[in-house]
Amino acid sequence: MLTISRLAHAMVLMDFAGTFVLADPWFAKKPTRLGPPSSLGPADLPKLSLVLVSGNGPDRADWKSLAAYPDKSILVAGPLSQMKAANKSGFGLFEAMEKPWEQHKAGPLVLLPGPGLPQGEQVTAVLQCAGFTVYWGGNSLFDPRIAGMLQHTDRPDVAFLPVAANAGGLLSSKCGMAPEEAAGICGVLNPQVAIPIGEGAASLNAQKFAAACAVFAPETKVKVLSAGAVYQHKTAR
């Protein structure tokens, strides 16, 4: 079973049958536009196998708070621009996600970095473990190169798509995707389940994303998770 807990903003805890991944850790209380902070602190987290950081912004990696996590030997993966801050917080095992589809391993977990935009600032990722495949869209703008994922891995069981809160139309946001763009990615990847993340995860744009998926990806089921919500995906493809 794959258990997904949306903790706060884009921070998600994934449990691949006992192998835990924390994506885009953000525990801070500000800025308030990102929503309420997580009810769990770093010391409350389970034993992690990987911390995944998808961008170079402070809302992608709250290193000041994460420094309280006791096990600094775990693998951290993200843009090269985050390495210095990770090392300064005590996390010495850092994999730079510079080459798309280059395989990294953390125990039973396989990580494949994917392309993201703006290039050099945002990355995406594919996670494989316990028979499940997950696509993590991070905070990337719409990037047609994502279609190349299917040459390297299976279609995802679950796909996380960054839906921007302020995207009024195509290509109108500096981060994340307009609902129609995110739905277009789903139309290509055809995940079983799509989950919006980021600033638009619980906004009207999340509902617009669901409506667009009904057109562009009718086989994909959309799950809109509020902060603190848990979703269990029981069966892989």
Contact 165, 200 (CB under 8 A): yes
Q: pLDDT value at position 168?
A: 45
Tokens read off for 53: 């950081």
Per-residue confidence (pLDDT) for residue 123, from 0 to 100: 93
Q: What is the DSSP pairing of strand 94-96 with strand 124-129?
A: unpaired
CB neighbours of residue 44 within 10 Å: 11
According to CATH, what is the number of the domain 2-228? 3.60.15.10
Number of neighbouring beta carbons within 10 Å of residue 2: 23
pLDDT at 174: 64
Q: Is 30 exposed, middle or buried (0-12, 13-18, 19+ CB in 10 A)?
A: exposed
> Amino acid letter at 226?
S
For helices 179-189 and 204-216, the axis angle rounded to 10 degrees is 40
pLDDT digits (tens, 9 = 90+) for 102-122: 999 999 999 999 999 988 889
The whole model's pTM is what? 0.92
Q: Where are the domains of the chain?
A: 2-228
User: Partners of 15 in the beta sheet?
Assistant: 3, 20
Ranges in the chain, pLDDT < 70: 32-34, 166-174, 200, 202
